[in-house]
């Protein structure tokens, strides 16, 4: 079992729709969770961090965390073609006190005009 798993996609949604990206992790004691966006040929860009169960909203983005189910998701409301990118889920495992991140393989999102 991979430490952090994401569906590689591509996930295709029409412009204006809600895009839902999902991620599961294997280490139950993980405490810190991050979503990064990566455009083709570019480096990852931090878009959301979440540390507690529940929802965290920032503009059109909402991160959701359920530690009991070891599940974290990212919702993008009113999706725009500029949101088309690969979204990486990253987890800081409890075995690390140095901020080491374990990444999923990423989900490719395509927003069609």
Which residues in this chain contact other proteins in the complex, by CB under 8 A? 4, 6, 8, 31-32, 34, 36, 42-46, 49, 51, 88, 90, 92, 96-106
Pick 20 or 32: Cβ nearer other proteins? 32
- Tokens found for residue 75: 């919702």
Nearest distance in Å: CB 36, other proteins = 8
Pick 23 or 111: Cβ nearer other proteins? 23
In this structure, are residues 90 and 101 in contact, taking their beta carbons and an 8 Å threshold?
yes
Pick 64 or 86: Cβ nearer other proteins? 86
Nearest distance in Å: CB 59, other proteins = 17
Nearest distance in Å: CB 42, other proteins = 7
Pick from 96, 48, 89: nearest CA to 70: 89
In this structure, are residues 58 and 72 in contact, taking their beta carbons and an 8 Å threshold?
no
Pick 17 or 103: Cβ nearer other proteins? 103
DSSP state of 97: S
**DSSP calls for 6-21:** -----EEEETTSPEEE
């Amino acid at each position: 079992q991979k430490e952090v798993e994401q569906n590689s996609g591509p996930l295709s949604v029409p412009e204006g729709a809600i895009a839902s990206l999902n991620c599961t992790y294997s280490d139950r004691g993980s405490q810190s969770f991050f979503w990064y966006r990566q455009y083709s040929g570019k480096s990852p860009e931090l878009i959301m961090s979440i540390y507690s169960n529940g929802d965290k909203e920032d503009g059109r983005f909402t991160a959701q965390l359920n530690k009991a189910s070891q599940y974290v998701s990212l919702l993008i409301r009113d999706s725009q073609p500029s949101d088309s990118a690969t979204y990486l889920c990253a987890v800081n495992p409890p075995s690390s006190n140095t901020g080491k991140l374990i990444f999923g393989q990423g989900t490719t999102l395509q927003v069609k005009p």
